[in-house]
């Protein structure tokens, strides 16, 4: 006999430009890095033509979102100047918005000035790795434009976050962090929120796998959960391989994330992520 959970039967959603996006099925977000130093070279673009070519491939493979960043946040990285970050994405954003009107264009930044300019140039969502802790003014910008906001968990700052991060109660601390940040975000007037537990952002290898194992706990917040696992060090260091060899491991962890309640996969490889989602749904909805 099929059992129903009333809470879980109501999928989370976000409002994008007056259109309700329902996460009744998981979705894929393609990564477009307008940076020279992001850890996976295939995701890097250096001009509008390269960005459009990569975006076209990702959309054809099933991407529902495209996430554009001009500032690498890999461990140990130094952020560029605001003007450099902006120059990298200034022409990319409006061209993506124009050429792919049915896809949500997200800007990956923790800086309020970049978020402001990006939204003015076509970005429909802000993906902030710091949850507003590195630049609190970003919440005012997001609230002003009423765009969806991805709040991520970050311990420390990108340059130092992997220098022996410690937790007394990993899941409890992240849960408390979200509770506190969501209060600030809602007080700022932001209504559409996505949670990201921040894999690799101030976490040791074992921390990342503990978060993945307990990902379902964050469904308590009744918001879409985004995961950024794609080709990260938790995969290639655990397997003793390179990021370029980490697609198989990425796919395996994507399935684990979906089984634990993830709604949005932020990925370098859209085709494989979409295939994983399809297979997950066959499992989820299989009936005797």
The residues assigned a catalytic role are 232, 266
DSSP assignment of 152-206 equals: E--SS-TTTTTSS---SSHHHHHHHHHHHHHHHHHHHT---EEEE--TTSS--HH
Using CA atoms of 79, 250, 195, 171 in order, give the dihedral in degrees to the nearest 10. -100
Question: Which residues on neighbouring strands pair with residue 27, listed in sequence order?
Answer: 264
Residues in CB range of 171: below 8 A, 6 or more apart: 210, 211, 214, 217
With CA atoms as reference, report the closest residue to 144 among 117, 180, 106.
117
């Amino acid at each position: 006999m099929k059992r129903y959970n009333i809470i879980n039967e109501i999928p989370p959603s976000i409002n994008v430009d007056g259109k309700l996006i329902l996460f009744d099925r998981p979705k894929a977000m393609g990564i477009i890095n307008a940076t020279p130093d992001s850890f996976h070279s295939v995701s890097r673009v250096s001009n509008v033509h390269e960005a459009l070519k990569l975006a076209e491939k990702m959309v054809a493979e099933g991407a529902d979102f495209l996430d554009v960043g001009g500032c690498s946040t890999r461990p140990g990285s130094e952020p560029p100047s605001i003007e450099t970050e902006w120059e990298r994405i200034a022409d990319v954003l409006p061209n993506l918005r124009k050429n792919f009107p049915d896809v949500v264009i997200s800007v990956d930044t923790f800086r309020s000035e970049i978020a402001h300019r990006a939204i003015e140039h076509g970005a429909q969502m802000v993906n902030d790795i710091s949850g507003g802790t590195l630049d609190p003014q970003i919440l005012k910008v997001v609230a002003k434009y009423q765009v969806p906001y991805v709040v991520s968990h970050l311990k420390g700052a990108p340059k130092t976050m992997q220098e022996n991060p410690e937790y007394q109660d990993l899941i409890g601390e992240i849960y408390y962090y979200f509770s506190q940040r969501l209060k600030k975000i809602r007080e700022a007037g932001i209504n559409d929120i996505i949670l990201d537990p921040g894999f690799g952002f101030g976490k040791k290898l074992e921390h990342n796998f503990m978060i993945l194992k307990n990902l379902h706990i964050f469904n308590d917040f009744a918001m879409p959960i985004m995961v950024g696992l794609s080709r990260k060090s938790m995969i290639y260091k655990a397997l003793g391989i390179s990021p370029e060899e980490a697609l198989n491991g990425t796919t395996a962890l994507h399935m684990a994330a979906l089984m634990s309640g993830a709604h949005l996969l932020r990925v370098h490889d859209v085709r494989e992520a979409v295939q994983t989602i399809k297979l997950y749904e066959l499992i989820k909805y299989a009936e005797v």
